[in-house]
Structure 1
C-alpha cells in the first residue's frame, strides 16, 4: 500500500454542504443504525459529552481544498449521514417556529463543532475496501472492566465502580471480569461485571433488563446514595449466606443470577422515587424477612418455578425470563408474611 494521508478538520455545516453537493460518497448505510447514532449525538451534545473517532476517507485530488474537495468515505458513513440528518432536521424544526431552548442550543453546538477526517490519497478501490474491512473487524472492543473503571461519563459505570472499590466482601465473593456472565457450576465467582451493571440499573430504574443495558439512565438520587444503598443490600445479602461461598452453585441457589435479580427487584419494588433514608430502611426490613429461608440449592421449593435440571449432579436451574423472575419475586414477598 503506497499512500499519503493527512488530517482535515471539517466544520459540521461544511460537512453537510459537501454531502448535499454529492462531494462525499458514502457507503450504503442501515437507517435504523443511523437513527441510533443521531439519538446518541443529540443526547451526548446536550450533556457536552460527545466523542467521535475521525472519519476515514479517500480522495483522488492532489489539493485538499474544502471548497472543491471530493472524497469517498472509507469508514464513518453512518456518522456522516447521522450528523447531516440531525443538522438539517434541527434547522427545519427551528424554521417551523419550533424554537425550543434545547433546539436552539443544539443548533449552536452543531454549527460551532467540527469533526476530524483522516484523509488518504493514492489508494486503489480494492485497498480502500480492505481498509474498511480492517477498521470494522480488527478493532478490539474495550473490556467491560476498563469501561466501568474509566468511563466516568456513564452514571451506571460510576456507581458500579464505586461499589467495587468500597465493598471488600463483594470483591472476596468474586467478580468475573473476563466474561459477560458466569457459567455455573464451574465458575464460583459471585457476579460478572455485566451482571453487576444490571443490578445497578435495577436499583436506579426499578426495571428488569435481561441483559446489561448499554445506555445511561436518569438518577433520582445522588450517585453516592445509590452506592450506599447497594452496599447496604450486599451487606444484608451476605448475612443470608457467607460471601466466600455465595457463588458456589453446588451449595446455594443464591449463586443463581435470576434469584439475585429477583431479590434486587423485590427490595426495590415501589421504592424508586422514595428518599434515600426510606429506601435504606425498606431494604433492611425486606432482607431481614429472608433470613429464615433455606437457601440450599437442593431445597425442593425452587422446583415450583420454571426451570430444568442440568448436569450429573442434577442441579436445578431457573429459566432466565421475566415470567420466571416475577414469579420468584412474588414468592419472596410472601416470606414477609411468615416473619
Structure 2
C-alpha cells in the first residue's frame, strides 16, 4: 500500500513538472490536429487528371507514383489549384511541395505566417489549422547524402517555429545550428568525448555528400505544464504524423533519417520508433520515451540519449501510472541507449548551442561519422 501511495504522489508530481522549453506555466489542453489537410474535399472532387490519390488513405509511395506519371503542366496545375493538399502530401516531389506551401502561406493572409513565404525558405509542410504546423528544410534535401529531422517538444507551433529572439532553441534555430555544425570538420578521435556502453564512440572516415536538416514542427505540441505534457495523447497523434512524414521522405528517395528528439518530442519519437526507418534516434532532455529500455522501442535504429547537468527535466519523475508520465530515463545505464556528451549544456534548451559537446556529437551522428 505504501508503494502504491508513493506511485500516486510521483505521478501527481509528474503532472506538475513535465513540460517544454517555455517553462513553468500552467498547461492549456490542446486538441490534436489530425487527418488530411484543408482542401481535401475539393481535391477529391477534381477529376481533371483522373482519380487523385486520397490524402487520407494513399501511401506516400502511391503518391510518388502518381506524380511520376504526370507531365510538368499537370503538376503545376495541381499546385496552383490545391496548394494546401500538394504542400502536405507526403510522397509528392519536393520542389512541388516548396512551391505549393509558398502559395498556401500567402493565401492565408495572416501576418504571423508571412515570413514563411520568403523566397529563400524551403517549407516542406504547412498546415494553418489550430496553432499551425510547419516543416522547414535547411540544405538540399533532393541531393543530400544524409538527412536529419528535428522533433521539438512543448510550446512549439508554426508561429514560434523560428524563434529568432532565442537562437538555437526553437526548431528552426536547432536545425540551422546542426546544419552549420555538419559543415565543420571534426577532429580525429572520440566524438566530443562521447561514449557507448562498452567503449568510446570512434569517428570513422568522413561520409561523402551534404547534410539536409528538417525542422519538423509537424504535430500539436503541449502548451506549458499540465496533463497534456504528462500524458501520451498528443505524442501518439504526433507519432502517426512523424511516421508518415518519414515514409514520405523515403518515397522520394531520401536516405534514412536521423531523428533528434527534444523534450516531449522524444515521447513522440519513442512511440513512432517502430514505424520509421530512422538510422539513429537521439533523445535529448527527455522525460522518457514510453519504453523501459531501448530494445523496447523495437527499432533497428541506433538509440542515443543525453542530458545536461542543469536541465530541469532531471527533476521529472521517470514513472508511468495510469497513462501519466513517460517512463524510464533514456540516459540511465539500464535503458541501454548510447550516451551523447552534454556536460557543457546549459539548461533545457541549450543542446544545439554552438561550441557545445552535444552539438559536435550531433553533427557527427548526422554525418554518419560514428559507428
Which TM-score tier does this pair reach, normalised by the shorter chain? under 0.3
Q: Which has the higher contact order (CA 8 A, sep 6+)?
A: 2
Length-normalised TM-score, structure 1: 0.24
Q: Whose helix fraction is larger, Structure 1's or Structure 2's?
A: 1
TM-score in terms of structure 2 length: 0.23
